Structure 1
């Protein structure tokens, strides 16, 4: 069934998602605060999520699905509160006061909502006790689902990498340290899988209310950086000591839902970035 889909925060991931959805025949609207050009198959809607009046004037009626994929204008508590809490609340309120069939809302959150730091495995059911403002505000945004009577699904992405997100590669090339004692666990997901997962969740008939989205290999920082150094022909990272061990993300629920990863581990994903010859092709 063809849908009318609104992507709120139509940046890099939103545009890739919008193009893929439009190619499937859906009507796609990209909401941005500025009049930046979007791909021709995404209709620009210029509005400020912090200005409810502007939303009412331009957001189309009869939206079937909303993807909320914002980036804060500044990385402060106030910036996160505005982008993720106030902006989302304004959009959800607009959907409800229109008194029409409520759209499915898919909210892009983060694994920063977890506070575990001793190497524990975390799932969607693990306690969420974030220590930093970023995770606190994202968790507050997720909790807006309690007042929304339509479908609301949170997707907690781990660290995103991919084209244009190659900071770790450059860091290893320049010579770097890695935390070996205690081992620091890291979690990541390729940008292509972010797009694929969003499309997958959008198409599920009966989704869960939350999904943890990370690849299959929550490897240690040293394991990842040592592999990168060897692949790049760069100096091996220098092992150092640290205070915490991070966490390990378990994406079993997403796997059980039927999603097939394009890049199931860091080796395949980073090999594609370095050499362009990964055996798995990008789908989106």
Structure 2
């Protein structure tokens, strides 16, 4: 029996990491993005712009076993989010139907922005989703598109960091500080773990294991931003002390990965300490 295939729509940072992991499992991987010259070696290129209605000329032929939709909005405003997450997903679903392709499962990479809780509460997959910001509202709308397309799983990733996603490190090197009170919890996942969770779900589904309709992608230990910044200042040996930031970050909640862990997933970087240590040592 041949290994399954997967079409990764938005094969950029996390998608590229996922592609490498699935290639290592001997899967055939199709990567859809505008600039296919940046795809990892071994990925079958699918050059496409999700803003264009016509199905790409090099769209995969035959059965598509799995689809992972993990695009990144080019514009961080309401029209940009709608184009990337809602309309783009509708376009891909339409191309699948046009080619009479029925994937076994679609994974839609969503965001914890669908949760509006901001008092330090613990959040899981069953917590109320009542977003106030347009980003969360549009993610929920896109999640519904995914669910209506056929068998689908939504993966709500939290703050992704990793190589190439080092803004906080740069800020700390410049003396960045945040107040300890009120304590503002943040949620993180290393980019390798984000891809690893997606790979884990694909492999489980392919092996016939039960896969739920929603998972939170987060490490084991949500931590206050002030704690993370203080740890990084010590680790980097930063003596400069810039003005204490008065910027209140969006959200203040603690996301749980208990459901993914119950399935057997284990993050490679269980907290910000291991994750940032790997970046700094790299």
User: TM-score, with normalisation over the residues of structure 1?
Assistant: 0.90
Tell me, yes or no, if structure 1 residue 265 matches structure 2 residue 266: no
Aligned to 1:94: 95
What aligned pairs does 1:211-250 form with structure 2 within 5 A after superposition? 211-235=215-239, 246-250=252-256
| Other-structure match for 1:282 | none
Whether the 8 Å CA contact 1:159–1:188 is kept in 2: the answer is: yes
> Secondary structure at the residue paired with 2:179?
strand
Q: TM-score, normalised by structure 2?
A: 0.90
Deviation at 1:180, TM superposition (A): 1.9
The 2-side partners of 1:172 and 1:35 are apart by 34
Give the alignment's Cα RMSD to 1 decimal: 2.0
TM superposition outliers: structure 1 runs of 4+ over 6 Å: 240-245
Residues 1-28 of structure 1, C-alpha deviations (whole Å, 9 max, x = no match)? 5112101011122112112212221111
d(CA) in 2 for partners of 1:125, 1:156: 12
Is contact 2:122-2:254 (8 Å) kept? yes
* Equivalent residue number for residue 39 of structure 1: 40
Paired residues of 1:22 and 1:41 also in contact (CA < 8 A) = yes
| Preserved CA contact (<8 Å) 2:185 2:253 | yes
User: How far off its partner does 1:171 sit?
Assistant: 0.9
Moved more, 163-172 or 51-60: 51-60
Take 1:151 and 1:91, find their aligned partners in 2: how far apart are those partners? 15
When structure 1 is superposed on structure 2, of 139-148 and 99-108 the one drifting more is 99-108
Q: How many residues align?
A: 275
Structure 1: give runs of 5+ residues left out of the alignment.
277-284
Q: Deviations over 1:137-168 (max 9, x none)?
A: 111100113422x2111111110111111111
| C-alpha separation in 2, matches of 1:195 and 1:253 | 17
Distance 1:270 1:146, change over 3 A: closer
SS at match of 2:164: coil
| Distance across 2 between alignment mates of 1:168 and 1:225 | 8
Residue number in structure 1 paired with 2:261:
255
Aligned residue for 2:6, secondary structure, equals strand
- In structure 2, relative to structure 1, the CA distance for the partners of 1:8 and 1:260 (3 Å cut) is same
2:86–2:141: 8 Å Cα contact kept in structure 1? yes
Q: What CA distance in whole angstroms lies between the structure 2 residues aligned with 1:271 and 1:102? A: 38
